[in-house]
Structure formats: C-alpha cells, structure tokens
Amino acid sequence: MKRVIIVGGGFAGLNAAKKLCRNPEIELTIIDRRNYHLFQPLLYQVAMAALNPAEIAQPIRSLFTGFRNVRVLQEEVIAVDRTAKEVQTLEGAYSYDYLILAVGVQHSYFGHEDWEEFAPGLKTLEQATEIRRRVLTAFERAEKTKNIQKQKQLLTFVIIGGGPTGVELAGAIGEMSRFTLAQDFNHIDPKLARVILIEAGPRILPSFSTKWASRVARDLEGIGVQVWTSSMVTDLDAEGVTVGEERVLCSTILWAAGVQAATLSQKLEVERDRQGRIIVAPDLSLPENPEIYICGDQSSFAHGVDQPLPGLAPIAMQQGRHAALNIQRTLKEQETLPFKYIDKGQMATIGRSRAIVEVGSLRLVGTFAWFLWLLIHIYYLLGFKNRFFVLIQWAWSYLSNSRGARLIVEKDWRFYKKKT
Amino acid sequence: MKRVIIVGGGFAGLNAAKKLCRNPEIELTIIDRRNYHLFQPLLYQVAMAALNPAEIAQPIRSLFTGFRNVRVLQEEVIAVDRTAKEVQTLEGAYSYDYLILAVGVQHSYFGHEDWEEFAPGLKTLEQATEIRRRVLTAFERAEKTKNIQKQKQLLTFVIIGGGPTGVELAGAIGEMSRFTLAQDFNHIDPKLARVILIEAGPRILPSFSTKWASRVARDLEGIGVQVWTSSMVTDLDAEGVTVGEERVLCSTILWAAGVQAATLSQKLEVERDRQGRIIVAPDLSLPENPEIYICGDQSSFAHGVDQPLPGLAPIAMQQGRHAALNIQRTLKEQETLPFKYIDKGQMATIGRSRAIVEVGSLRLVGTFAWFLWLLIHIYYLLGFKNRFFVLIQWAWSYLSNSRGARLIVEKDWRFYKKKT
C-alpha cells in the first residue's frame, strides 16, 4: 500500500482524490482545515443573501463514504518535511510516499493587513456571512438615521478590485438595492444606494477581451454601479476610502483586489514566480521532489503557454486529475506525462440575468450567456442534492425577485458574555 | 394617528403587528434586536444540521412590504419610561400611545452564568450554529484520536433539561449518529456515541401526561439515548458534568434546562410571578398602565386557569392577536375584552419519524403523530417560500437519511487577526 496525502479539499485536491480513491492499492489521506468542500465561484451569492452556506458546501467526508482506503481529517497542516516525507499538523505528523499540495491562495492586502477589518475579502463562508451582515446592516441603519449625510455614507458601497469577483459583487449589490430591497424600506429609497467599483488598472476584467469588458462596464452602470478604473486606493478605514486625492465616505468596503500564496506554501523553500506561486515542472511536480505535486491556485505552470496559468477552477480541476494520473503512472512504473491545459473559457455574471462568456474566439454576453453560466455552474456543483436545491432556490429568486437568506447573523453566540 | 410600538418580533409581536398594520389610523413601529423573525420550534433542526438558518427565519421587514404606516427598526430596547410613554433604545427614544411588550425569555443558568461557555443553550441562530459546530467537531476529533479514553469522551453528548427542547435535541443526536453519520467514518463507529439526557425532576416532559412521557423515554432509549431523571447537575466544565457523586466525562454539553425573564422585562418595576414573569390583568395589560400590553413568554396570565399559562408558541400568537384587538377596541372607545386561551394542545418529536401530540384528551404517539407535527409546523412557518423549501428539505432528508447542512462554520471571519 502506497500512502498518498492530499492537503486541501478544494477543486484541485478533490478532483485528485476522486481518481485516487478508486485504487485499492493506495492508502489515501485528505487533510483540510474545514470539514467541507466549498464551491467558491458561487460564494458571492451567499454574501449577497441569495444562497445559503450549505447550498455551496459539501462535507468532504460524505463524498468518500464507503471507501475504506480513504481517511478524511479536519486538521491544519503547518509544515511539510520533504526530507522525512512527513506532513505536520497541529495534532501530529503523517508520512507519505506521494503528496499533493493544493492549499490555494489567500487574500493579500499588499502589506496593509490592518485593512482587513474594514474591508473583508471573499474566500470563506465566514467572510461571506460577514459581508452579508455588513451590507444588510447598512440598509437597516440608513433607515433609522435622520442625518442625511450619515444616510448617504451608509448607502455608499465600495468594492475594491475589478476582477470577476469584484464585478459580481458590485452587480449583485446594485441589483439587490434596485429590486429586492426597493419596497421594503419606508424612510430611504434603496435605489439611491451608490455602488462604486474601484480598479487600479486601466480597465475591469483584464483577463477578458477589451471590447466585452467595456460592455460589462456599461451593463454595470445600467444597474447603478459606478466604475472607477486607473484608481488606486491609498488608504481606508471605518469611515471610507481614499483614492488618490479623493476621499469617499462609505460604511461598507469589500476587498477583491489581490491574492497571495497560502501560509503553508510560503513556508516551502522552493522557486516561486512574482506572485509567490510555486513554479512546477511540466508534470506538475516539484523539480527537486518528484513525489510532491503542486496543483491549483498555488502553482505556477508556465510550460508551453504564453504566461503562467491563472487561478481558475477549471485549471485546478484539470491539474488535480493530472497529478492523480501521474501518481498512478509512477506506481505502474510508467513515466509521468506533462500537463496540458484544455481551455474551457472563462465567464462572469453581472447581476440577475446577464453574463459574459469567452471560450476561445467565441464570445457571448447577455441573457443567453447568463443561462449558459447558470447551467455550467449547476453542473459543476458537487453532489446531486446541492444542484437540485440551488436550482430551485435560483428559480425562485429569479421569478420572485426576492432573496431567501436575508438574515443578519451576529458574530458571538453567547448571551452572558458581557458579564464574564 | 395613534402611535403603537411593538417591542419584539417573535410569535406574539408579529401576530399583533399583522392585525394592527391594516389599520391606517395607526402608526406602527416594530422594534427588534434582529432583522428577522425566528421560528423557534424548529431551531433544534438547525442545530442538528437538518435545516439551514434561512429556512426558519424571515426578515421582519419583508412581512410588511407595502404598509406605509409600518416602520421596522433593528435596535436594542434598553428601557421603557412609563411616565413619559417612551421606549429608549441605544440610538434614541420613541414615543408611544400604546405599547406591546413581547420580548420573550432568555436562558437561565440558575446563577451559574459561567456554565454558558461549556453548555450553550438554544434560543438563537448563533447558538444553533455553535451547537452544530460542537457536535460535528466532536465526531471529527474522535475520528483522529488514537486515545480510546479520549474517544469515548468525545463521543459522549450530555443534554441537560428534559423538556421538549432537550428531548428533541437528544433524539436528533441519537439519530444523527445512528443513521446519518454511520457510514462516513472509518476509524470510529458513530453508533457507539453515548447520548445522555439529564432531568432534575422525576420525569421528562413534565407538561405531558405520565403515560406518554414514559413511552417517549422508551423511544429515546430505542435510539440510544440514556434518560437520567431525578438527576441534578451540580457542576460542569470543558471536560464533563458532575451529577451528584458521579462524574461524566464528555466534550459536548447542551443546555435546555431553564429560562428567565429577558433583561428588559427584568428592569420594569412591576409585579411578577415566581419565575420572574410579569403578572398581567385579564385583558393582558399592565394593571397600573392600561396602555401597555405584555404578551408571550414574558407574561404571567393566571385568570380563569389552574396555573399560569406556560411559554408556548400558540399562546404567544393568541395573546399577540388579543392585545391588538384590545388596542383597536380602545381606539373605537369600546371596552377591552379579557383574554381566553384556546388550548391547541402540545407536541414534541423524537427523532426522524416519531412524535407525541396531546390535544385535550386526544393523545397520539408514533409516526402518524409525527406527520401531524410536520404538517402543523410547516403550516405555521411564516411565508410561502419557507414552507415550500422546508418541505422539500425534509422530504429529502427523510428519503435519503442525509443531513444537508453538515458544515462546521468557524466563529471568526478574519484571517489576519493573529497578526493584529
């Protein structure tokens, strides 16, 4: 029995595990800090109260029911000892013959970690709940205040970062205030909410073609989102953001601006690219450790492509499967194969019924693209149950223009905390 | 325009509001700490990962869309000035002509508030999420440990309090370990989990008849729950509970033992019963302030009944509607009417397909009672959407024996918190 450890239950790790678990000669251990796999492309829908956390998350354990050769551990990996071939967690050490590292990335505040408190990012369910709490609370507080200045500030939402996540968040806040909340308030008009999408580069969606990106910018403006490009945020706090010379008062700031390698992968002493991602061999292994594979967002793959592959779910899935294939080949004493990315295109949604889809030279934008986006996302959602519920929930939201999950959940569960 | 303020968006407050909002001569203000109404009878299903928070909660604001005379405020009321006829919140003061107080109750640890940390109660969504986190984490940790003693401790669950909530929690943990989790773990057998229900009184479900309560106790034992009656918990901490002379090592303790008046109602200088509930006049008003009505769990109503009415949802609903009726009558210069409780019976579930229902002399137990319980609960769930989703979610859980919401969500959303 060969021991294979997969660290990380994201798209890369899970796709590797699904291949390897069927090989009875492999003793497979999956380690993740969380007990669930998160379908990150829909995380913004949780933040915007359209979906429940459980609808985009699946307990990892439940995906491997019945496989006696698979062990799922909820633990935090703190180090990899490449000489001893050991993964170290807070609770112990686990030996491996082969290791797949797929721990992803984390938000980067470019040295301003203290900004996180005022501008949460969107990588985890907890952050999504926090963003939902902030956005909904801003409307509640605006309804109560009699101070017009304060009301304006409360109804100003700033999203920093014009990539797909920033665009999707801005579009969703724009639509939520225009449609879902429009009738619920008597003292304010949620339609007056000001949503500002700030991008440091010259245009939003830099990975998409220029023409379509400007079409998206116009669509965003159509639902009340102001798009500020070539604008650099130089400071931010609880009262607002500073963009160059300009001070924008706002009470809600969301961060979608940058990522960096996860702490664990930062600790590895290996060659990296400018963004801190680990440079991998053509077969996805570490050049100096052929028994270690690096997959997903944390890997920098630059063989036979113009520039290193970006951090996207389809790439992570393909890499996970490829690493699994190469391990299986090695076990059969075959040579490993180089990884080849099959471009499945990229997509982003703008609000409730528009999307942009680019597959090779095919470009779609509008309602049809949105349906395509919907179908693909539902298809990839893991597990039949989730697909089914998400479909119903969406159908409902679409038909009724309501959002099912508009709860402001508090951070602390304790009642007697003040006394103790 | 007469100003009516309702404090509390629970069953009593909401039922009062639904009557009063239709009277255009009333300027109605509903104040609640939360932005949602919570369907508390199903809260244990959230704690046990069978339902999502949003499925049993409804934004209060969304229930009064279109009523221009209704204002919904998410604020914490800290005092009532009965002389100035003013409700004081952290953010301001609101004057009233009529006031309905329906703030409910909170957990009581009988002077041991420090126990809360180790034994969360079940009154809020945050507490439900915390309980879910603890129960699921216990199984995850048991899977990892090699220490048999520790494993036994992790798989021991203690529920303190043998009322309906305690019985429902114990039954649900028993069933979850026997059925839902049974196949998911390779190193432990979740079926070996030990669930102990501790009740200080001589029997569980004291409000039900003796015969049926013992039938429930047998049903619980059938799904692996040990029922300890006449057992007083004298101490508890992170490692276990002390029951008289006996020490029970366990890692999860849940509190369902007692309630007391909410802080706001404690502050009112009025006559109370032994449990701290406010004694009301036959028309539900305060004897010295006929413009103030006290409804729901916090009121002690003892007119024409053997003993003061207990804190149950149907009573709160009827009282809320009755207080609204009396305010409307006063506005028309009619006399107020005394409140008469129409007994709709009581019910509790034991696990996935059994319940106990008592309506007058009619008593039902078993699967048919469970269907009745299901129908009634779905019927009373506010809002069509929730009913529909809960029905589907339940149908699914019932057919597939799975639990859709098995996520362990962390308490803090910040990543950089350790550094700051």
Listed in sequence order, the DSSP H helices in A122-209 are 125-144, 148-154, 164-175
Q: In total, how many domains does chain B have?
A: 2
- Tokens 């889809």 correspond to A357
Inform me whether the C-beta atom of residue B393 falls under 8 Å from chain A C-beta atoms. yes
Residue A263's pLDDT band (cuts 50, 70, 90): confident
CA max distance for chain B: 74
If asked whether residues A16 and A55 sit together in one domain, one would say yes
Distance CA A13, CA A323 (A): 10
Mean pLDDT of B64-91: 93
> Among residues B327, B336, B294, B289, which one has the least CA distance to residue B311?
B294
Q: Give the model confidence (pLDDT) of B134-191 as tens digits.
A: 999 999 999 988 899 999 999 999 999 999 999 999 999 998 888 888 888 888 888 8
Inform me whether the C-beta atom of residue A66 falls under 8 Å from chain B C-beta atoms. yes
Neighbours of A282 (CB within 10 A): 15
Higher pLDDT, A384 or A163: A163
pLDDT at A402 > cutoff 70:
no
Q: In 3-state terms, what secondary structure has residue B99?
A: strand
Catalytic residues of A, by residue number, are 168
If asked whether residues B123 and B222 sit together in one domain, one would say yes
Contact B125 A185 (CB under 8 A): no
- Structural tokens at position B64: 């009064």
Asked, for residue B360, whether it belongs to a domain, the answer is no
- Among A21-35, A77-91, A287-301, B365-379, which stretch is predicted with the lowest mean pLDDT? B365-379
* Arithmetic mean of pLDDT over chain A: 89
Shortest distance, CA A61 to any CA of chain B (angstroms): 6
Asked, for residue A411, whether it belongs to a domain, the answer is no
Are A116 and A255 in contact by the 8 Å Cβ rule? The answer is: yes
Are B29 and B4 in contact by the 8 Å Cβ rule? The answer is: yes
Could you give phi then psi for residue A220, rounded to 5 degrees?
-60, -45
Active site residue B358: no
Asked, for residue A340, whether it belongs to a domain, the answer is no
Please report the pLDDT score of residue B419 as a whole number: 40
Asked, for residue B394, whether it belongs to a domain, the answer is no
Listed in sequence order, the DSSP H helices in A145-185 are 148-154, 164-175
If asked whether residues A197 and A136 sit together in one domain, one would say yes
Distance CA A39, CA A56 (A): 5
Choose one of A208, A224, A257: the last residue of a domain.
A257
> CB burial class (10 A; 0-12, 13-18, 19+) of residue B63?
buried
Range of the domain at B24: 2-33+75-107+259-331
Please report the pLDDT score of residue B152 as a whole number: 94
Asked, for residue B118, whether it belongs to a domain, the answer is yes
If asked whether residues B219 and B146 sit together in one domain, one would say yes
If asked whether residues B133 and B23 sit together in one domain, one would say no
Please report the pLDDT score of residue A211 as a whole number: 85
If asked whether residues A99 and A70 sit together in one domain, one would say yes
Out of A91, A107, A385, name the one closest to residue B396 (CB).
A385
Distance CA B190, CA B36 (A): 35
Distance CA B283, CA B295 (A): 10
Angle between helices B367-380 and B384-400 (to 10 degrees): 150
Q: Chain B residue with minimal CA distance to A49?
A: B54
Are A14 and A39 in contact by the 8 Å Cβ rule? The answer is: no
Are A126 and B412 in contact by the 8 Å Cβ rule? The answer is: yes
Q: Give the model confidence (pLDDT) of A14-33 as tens digits.
A: 999 999 999 999 999 999 99
If asked whether residues A22 and A52 sit together in one domain, one would say yes
Inform me whether the C-beta atom of residue A116 falls under 8 Å from chain B C-beta atoms. yes
Asked, for residue A319, whether it belongs to a domain, the answer is yes
- Among A83-87, A354-358, B99-103, which stretch is predicted with the lowest mean pLDDT? A354-358
If asked whether residues B247 and B161 sit together in one domain, one would say yes
Choose one of A257, A282, A305: the last residue of a domain.
A257
Which residues does chain A have within 8 Å of residue B55's beta carbon, measured at their own beta carbons?
A: 52
Structure ipTM: 0.79
If asked whether residues A253 and A320 sit together in one domain, one would say no
Please report the pLDDT score of residue A370 as a whole number: 84
Inform me whether the C-beta atom of residue A419 falls under 8 Å from chain B C-beta atoms. yes
Q: In 3-state terms, what secondary structure has residue A380?
A: helix
Between the alpha carbon of residue A402 and those of residues A386, B11, B381, B391, the distances in Å are 20, 23, 18, 19
> Among residues A102, A38, A30, which one has the least CA distance to residue A73?
A30
Q: Give the model confidence (pLDDT) of B213-250 as tens digits.
A: 888 999 999 888 999 999 999 999 999 999 989 999 99
Distance CA A270, CA A31 (A): 22
Distance CA B95, CA B107 (A): 30
Could you give phi then psi for residue B119, rounded to 5 degrees?
-135, 80
Contact A414 B117 (CB under 8 A): yes
Asked, for residue A29, whether it belongs to a domain, the answer is yes
Counting Cα atoms < 13 Å in the Cβ hemisphere of B307 gives 5
Residue A305 contacts by C-beta under 8 Å, 6 or more apart in sequence? A341
Check: pTM over 0.90? Answer yes or no. no
If asked whether residues B288 and B245 sit together in one domain, one would say no
- Structural tokens at position A182: 């429009």
Residue B420's pLDDT band (cuts 50, 70, 90): very low
